[in-house]
Amino acid sequence: MIPSEIEFTDELWAKPHEGTLTIGVKQDFFDDVNELWGVDLPEEGDEVSPEEICGEVETDQGPINIYTPIEGEVIEINSAVIDDPDILFDDSTEEGWLLRIRPHDPQDLQDFMNEDSEQEEA
C-alpha cells in the first residue's frame, strides 16, 4: 500500500508516486497564517538533500523552511504557487504542492516509506 501523504516535519508532507516524491506544506499549518508573501523554490535540475533548506514559504508568522526527506534531483516545481501563493490557503495538498524530486537511490524512497509505516504501527 502506498500512503497518500506522509508527514515528515511539523509543517511538511511528502507523497510518493511512481518513483518520485512530491513535497508540500500541511494544510493545518495555515490556520494561524493571515498572509502569504511569497514562495521561493529550487530550480528544476537542482540537487536537494535532507540536511539543507531547499526553499521557503514566506508568511506573516515567519518563514516555513522547505526540506526534503531524501536526497534527489528536483524534476518539477509548481510555478503556480510562486505566481499566486494564496493557492496554499485553498489547497496545499493537491493544487498547492511545492516540488517533486526523483531520488538518487530508489531504495531511499522505499526506506522513507517504510519508516513511516513503522511509526504508524508503533
Domains of the chain, first to last: 6-108 (2.40.50.100)
Collapsing DSSP to helix, strand or coil, 63 comes out as: strand
pLDDT of res. 2? 38
pLDDT at 118: 55
Q: Are 61 and 87 in contact (CB under 8 A)?
A: no
Provide the residue count of the chain.
122
CB 11 within 8 A of CB 26: yes
Q: State residue 120's pLDDT score.
A: 52
Tell me the per-residue pLDDT of 51-68, one tens digit each, with 9 for 90 and over.
899 999 999 999 999 999
Low-confidence ranges of the chain (pLDDT < 50): 1-3, 122
Q: What is the pLDDT of residue 29?
A: 85
Euclidean distance between CA atoms 76 and 2, whole angstroms: 21
**118 CB burial (10 A radius; 0-12, 13-18, 19+):** exposed
Predicted confidence at residue 116, as pLDDT, reads: 55
* Grid cell in block for residue 83: 505566481
Q: What is the pLDDT of residue 30?
A: 87
